[in-house]
C-alpha cells in the first residue's frame, strides 16, 4: 500500500513529475525505486507520493528551492534523467510548486 507523505506545516515545495512510458521500459522500475531511495537521503527531502497507470505521476516534497536544485544536480539522478529522455519516456513534464496550504485526515 502506498502512503501519503507526512509533510510539515507549509510552506514547502512540490516537484510534480508526470510521464508516459515507452514500450521499452526495461530497468525503469528498478531505477525509479533507486531514485526514491537516493532522494530520501538528500538534505531537504520531505517525502514522496507516486502512482502509475496510463500516466505516471510522482510528487516529491522539499523544504527549499535550493534542496530541489541540489537534487537535480545529483550525478546518479542526472544519469536516470539521461536514460529517461533517451529510453523510457515518450513524454514528460516537471512542475515545481510552492505549497501554501495543506489539509486532510
How many structural domains is the chain composed of? Answer: 1
Does any domain span residue 1?
no
pLDDT value for 2? 63
Q: Does pLDDT of 59 surpass 70?
A: yes
The chain-wide mean pLDDT, for the chain, equals 95
Does any domain span residue 4?
no
pLDDT digits (tens, 9 = 90+) for 62-78: 999 999 999 999 999 99
Cβ partners under 8 Å of residue 21, min gap 6? 28, 56, 88, 89, 90
pLDDT digits (tens, 9 = 90+) for 8-38: 999 999 999 999 999 988 999 999 999 999 9
Q: What is this structure's pTM?
A: 0.92
Q: Where are the beta strands (DSSP E) in the chain?
A: 12-21, 45-52, 56-62, 89-99
35 is written with which cell numbers? 531514485
Does any domain span residue 41?
yes
CATH number, domain of 20, equals 3.30.70.100
Does any domain span residue 17?
yes
pLDDT value for 46? 98
Domain encompassing residue 42: 12-99
Amino acid at each position: 500500500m502506498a502512503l501519503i507523505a507526512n509533510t510539515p506545516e507549509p510552506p514547502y515545495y512540490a516537484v510534480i513529475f508526470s510521464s508516459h512510458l515507452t514500450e521499452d521500459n526495461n530497468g525503469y522500475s528498478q531505477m525509479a525505486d533507486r531514485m526514491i531511495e537516493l532522494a530520501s537521503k538528500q538534505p531537504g527531502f520531505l517525502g514522496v507520493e507516486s502512482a502509475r497507470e496510463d500516466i505516471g505521476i510522482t510528487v516529491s516534497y522539499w523544504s527549499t528551492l535550493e534542496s530541489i536544485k541540489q537534487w537535480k544536480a545529483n550525478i546518479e539522478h542526472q544519469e536516470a534523467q539521461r536514460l529517461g529522455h533517451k529510453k523510457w519516456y515518450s513524454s514528460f513534464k516537471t512542475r515545481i510548486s510552492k505549497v501554501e496550504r495543506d489539509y486532510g485526515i
